[in-house]
């Protein structure tokens, strides 16, 4: 496969996954801000949404205050934010058009129809809370349709594996950022762990990764920070956990290595991260510091993206 084609497939999947992640982040933040102050706390949830998305600096270069209208506009429809939902869908469609022949009909129809709907129905954004809910649902359903189409219709060849690399690399980064913002910044100093504020913030974060029901199935307990961290970091059975993402990354990179006849630094780096996750436990992670552990993971995950690009996409 040409490196350009592999790059388009890789980034197509990353942009679709990122759009869904942003939609879930906005939706989860709306849930918390709808609660009475007694339960939602004194902190600015919209600030935390920007930090989770990694766009706080660029936001404050344009806006003075992180409130609902400003943050929703910046994360969803802003043309000046490269990672806004609008720009992610447009970039995904551009990449899809460049590799039209490498996609199945179902995959192309999903991306193209989403882009058309974005232009026709959402070009001016959502004017009401009901419209915003509809827009966020549209974004999430587009991602689910695209992911399902890829899984159910693509040949298991290098096109599929590069596409999945993009999904799992982006997903791992998103989960790590959500977890890091909660542990390092969200909980006010005067709030006790396990209080009402803690419960609603944790439930909103689990909702943002579609893991609230999964948590209760796995642990059958009330929400506890160390169990949530265990679920999102080490539990292989949760598709959005760091361990699950790296299990998939290792498998897909190994498939590419077999298909191309050789292993390389990308395979070795992914295995090293996967091994570290396999041999970690929550006691050690908490003793060292969750923030430090997750920050190191985010840096290593970003480094894997660079290695994959250098090895295959350039």
- Ordered by start, the domain boundaries in the chain are 1-154, 156-313
Closest CA to 252 of 234, 274, 231: 274
Rounded to an integer, the average pLDDT of 133-142 is: 96
Determine contact, residues 311/266, Cβ cutoff 8 Å. yes
* Residue 110 CB contacts under 8 Å (≥ 6 apart), including other chains: 142, 145, 146, 149
- In this predicted structure, what is the pLDDT of residue 222? 86
Q: What is the CA 17 to chain-centroid distance, rounded?
A: 6
User: What's the CA gap between 85 and 79, in Å, rounded?
Assistant: 9
CA angle 183, 21, 313 (to 5 degrees): 105
Using CA atoms, how far apart are residues 304 and 4, in angstroms rounded to an integer? 18
Tokens 């920050």 found at: 295
- CB contact at 8 A, 195 and 35: no
User: What φ, ψ does residue 123 adopt, rounded to 5°?
Assistant: -65, -25
Whether the predicted pLDDT of 197 surpasses 90? no
What would the pLDDT profile of 56-89 be if each residue is shown by its tens digit? 999 999 999 999 999 999 999 999 999 999 999 9
* pLDDT class of 188 with cuts at 50, 70, 90: very low
| pLDDT > 90 fraction of the chain, expressed in percent and rounded | 69
**Is 234 a residue whose pLDDT tops 70?**
yes
- For the stretch 102-131, pLDDT in tens is 999 999 999 999 999 999 999 888 889 899
Q: How many angstroms separate the CA atoms of 214 and 198, rounded?
A: 19
pLDDT for residue 185 is more than 70: no
- pTM, entire model: 0.91
Task: Give one DSSP letter per residue of 73-87, joined into a string.
Answer: HHHHT-SS-TTSHHH
Rounded CA-CA distance 272/270 in Å is 5
Cβ within 8 Å of residue 160, ≥6 positions away = 150, 154
**pLDDT averaged over the chain?**
90
Confidence tier at 45 by pLDDT (50, 70, 90): confident
pLDDT band with cut points at 50, 70 and 90 for residue 186: very low
pLDDT at 250: 98
Q: Lowest mean pLDDT: which of 176-190, 247-261, 300-314?
A: 176-190
* Structure confidence at residue 198 (pLDDT): 64
């Amino acid at each position: 496969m040409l490196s350009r084609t592999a790059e388009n497939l890789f980034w197509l999947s990353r942009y679709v996954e990122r759009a869904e992640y942003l939609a879930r982040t906005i939706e989860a933040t709306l849930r918390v801000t709808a609660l009475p102050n007694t339960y939602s706390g004194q902190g600015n949830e919209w600030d935390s949404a920007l930090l989770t998305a990694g766009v706080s600096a660029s936001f404050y270069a344009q806006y003075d205050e992180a409130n609902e209208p400003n943050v929703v506009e910046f994360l969803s429809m802003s043309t000046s934010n490269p990672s806004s939902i609008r720009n992610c869908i447009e970039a995904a469609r551009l990449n899809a058009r460049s590799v039209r022949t490498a996609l199945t009909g179902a995959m192309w129809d999903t991306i193209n129809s989403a882009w058309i709907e974005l232009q026709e129905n959402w070009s001016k954004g959502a004017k009401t809370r009901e419209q915003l809910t509809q827009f966020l649902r549209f974004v999430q359903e587009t991602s689910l349709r695209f992911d399902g189409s890829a899984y159910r219709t693509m040949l298991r060849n290098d096109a599929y594996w590069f596409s999945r690399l993009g999904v799992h690399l982006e997903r791992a980064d998103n989960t790590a950022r959500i977890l890091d913002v909660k542990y390092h910044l969200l909980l006010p100093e005067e709030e006790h762990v396990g209080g009402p504020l803690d419960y609603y913030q944790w439930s909103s974060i689990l909702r943002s990764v579609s893991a609230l029901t999964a948590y209760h199935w796995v642990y059958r307990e009330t929400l506890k920070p160390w169990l949530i961290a265990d679920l999102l970091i080490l539990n292989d059975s949760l598709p959005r956990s760091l361990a699950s993402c790296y299990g998939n990354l290792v498998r897909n990179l190994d498939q590419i290595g077999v298909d191309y006849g050789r292993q390389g630094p990308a395979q070795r780096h992914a295995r090293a991260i996967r091994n570290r996750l396999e041999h970690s436990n929550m006691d050690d992670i908490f003793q060292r510091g969750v923030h430090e552990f997750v920050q190191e993971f985010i840096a290593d995950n970003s480094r894997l993206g660079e290695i994959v690009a250098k090895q295959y996409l350039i």
